[in-house]
Amino acid sequence: MPRPVIGITCSRSVGGRWSDYDLGHFLEFAFDAYSQAVLNCGGAPLLVPISQSKNSLTVISSRLDGLILSGGPDINPRFYNDDPHQGLKDVDESQDEMELELTRQALAAGVPILGICRGLQLMNVAMGGTLYQDIASQVPTACNHSPRADRGTVTHKVRIKPNTRLQKTFQRSNLLVNSKHHQAVKAPAPGLVISAVASDGIIEALEDPSRPFVLGVQWHPEGLWKTDVAARKLFKALVTAAGKYWGTD
């Protein structure tokens, strides 16, 4: 069977000059660990840049068998009807708008979705949920969810809820994860259920049990897939769901 095509959303940063005539430009990127994990687990990775129109996103989403909403900057709180908090960091409205539109199109079409870190938060906002804009100042009892550690270092434990897709995927009730975020889900969107939490109560995973595969995790499995069985299982679960979706086309 052909490899299912897995879209991976990009972030962007302002780059330097590449010619004597440029004043600067945006660099659109996704860390290669996402693509490596998808490729290793049987999928065909395809980067989705931010520079889009609604029409171009419709064309792209119609060709995807699965979608990864990757990590990135803070989400502008206006997209979940909140005012900016003093702890809010950099936002990119163009990225927000592109990913929200792509997510809603994918949801409408039944495309399997895996949200990672910001991707979990974006998925929640796209479906009507809200966020903590800054954990440290808004949840003072929380542990440090953004430690100075590389993406391959596990930093805290999460408790996985029984009888969830996440629990069935991992076949375990807890997991050590590599946490790197200062925002988090506050109120889950209608239809999304909590499938994992940290010891301090911060939501670490959401899923939609009414859909074939809509799942988001707050940690970074792309940083662990080479050495961690659970991380590989997550990407393989997405690719498997994408293969089934491809088979219905």
| AA letter at 247 | G
Catalytic residue among 145, 156, 181, 220: 220
Instruction: Identify any residues that bridge with 8 across adjacent strands, giving them in sequence order.
Output: 47, 68
Q: Are strands 66-69 and 131-132 parallel, antiparallel or unpaired?
A: unpaired
Give the chain's count of helices (H) and strands (E). 7, 13
Query: Does the annotation mark 220 as catalytic?
Result: yes
Give the CA angle between residues 206, 208, 209 to the nearest 5°: 120
Query: Does the annotation mark 222 as catalytic?
Result: yes
- Residue 174 token pair: 């807890």
Query: Does the annotation mark 204 as catalytic?
Result: no
C-alpha 105/C-alpha 86 separation (Å) is: 32
Catalytic residue among 99, 204, 207, 222: 222
Residue with tokens 């100075």: 148
- Report residue 157 CA to chain centroid gap: 19
Catalytic residue among 117, 181, 182, 204: 117
Q: Which residues are catalytic?
A: 117, 220, 222
